[in-house]
Amino acid sequence: MRVDIISIFPEYFAPLEVSLIGKARHKGLLDVRLHQLRDWTRDVHRTVDDTPYGGGPGMVMKPEPWGEAIDAVVAAASAPPRLIVPTPSGRPFTQQVALEYAKEPWLLFAPARYEGIDSRVMAEYGASLRLDEVSIGDYVLAGGEAAVLVIVEAVGRLLPGVLGNAGSVTDDSFAPGAMEGLLEGPVYTKPPVWRGHEVPPILLSGNHGAIARWRRDQALRRTAAKRPELAARLDRRALDRRDREV
């Protein structure tokens, strides 16, 4: 997968050089290219923002540098990328959306600073590219860069070959399958007793069927306790069917 990121803080993306995503890049599974938005300004101050029409606090990102930057990146392409603009007013970014993005050959991110990007940029590219305005949660960040890091990590780990154990993806909270819609339950490793706390004996039983049922039960309990709104959305009949499968 190719990922392009246009930002006034390309250095913000240094974390993409380490750990799982860094390794995926070294293996050639992920090709990340960073671009400085200011390279597409034409004044000596390399200005990217201006005061909002209609008044109000803060500054708005000017459309011209964004237009030139996006055009330049897209021109290098054989097929147009999916353009992702992180914003608290976007559609929620979920595991479903991560799975959808993981199928794309190319993502282009346009993270904004200040009060956001002049809306005409979204009007322009909403017509010519597949544009997605996405929010990573109901809170306001200082800019979209941290949201891009979150999205690239969530999508990158889903790419074939990135995770050593493909099962980790299907066991994820929110992943489709037997655990769909459920939060992951507790996990344990050695030693069997630590500071008087024991590992649940069933996990040491070697009975794989009983362990799978216990894990699903734990996942259901945790979902009901921590995310009642998710538990309420679970489809009873699908749950019963999945119960018979485990």
Question: Two tokens at 189?
Answer: 């490793």
Contact flag: residue 65 with ligand ADE (CB under 6 A) = no
Does 136 appear as a known binding residue? Answer: yes
* Near ligand ADE by CB under 6 A: residue from 117, 136, 158, 219: 136
Contact flag: residue 7 with ligand ADE (CB under 6 A) = no
Contact flag: residue 41 with ligand ADE (CB under 6 A) = no
Number of residue whose CB is nearest ligand ADE: 86
Minimum distance of ligand ADE from residue 212's CB (angstroms): 36
User: d(Cα 243, Cα 178) in Å, to the nearest integer?
Assistant: 8
* Near ligand ADE by CB under 6 A: residue from 29, 74, 97, 141: 141
Minimum distance of ligand ADE from residue 246's CB (angstroms): 35
Contact flag: residue 88 with ligand ADE (CB under 6 A) = yes
User: d(Cα 222, Cα 216) in Å, to the nearest integer?
Assistant: 10
Amino acid (one-letter) located at 36? Q
Q: Which of residues 143-202 bind ligand ADE (CB under 6 A)?
A: 144, 147
List Cα–Cα distances, 149 to 5, 30, 55, 152, 211, in angstroms. Answer: 10, 14, 32, 5, 35
Q: Is the backbone peptide bond immediately before 176 cis, with ω within 30 degrees of 0?
A: no
Minimum distance of ligand ADE from residue 120's CB (angstroms): 19
Which range, of 49-57, 81-89, 192-200, 210-218, touches ligand ADE by CB under 6 A?
A: 81-89
E-state strands within 8-129 = 31-36, 49-50, 60-61, 82-92, 106-109
- Residue 88 a catalytic site member: yes
Contact flag: residue 139 with ligand ADE (CB under 6 A) = yes
CB-CB contact of 104 with 71 (8 Å): no
Any bridge partners for residue 133, and if so which? 85
Catalytic residue ranges: 88, 115, 157, 172
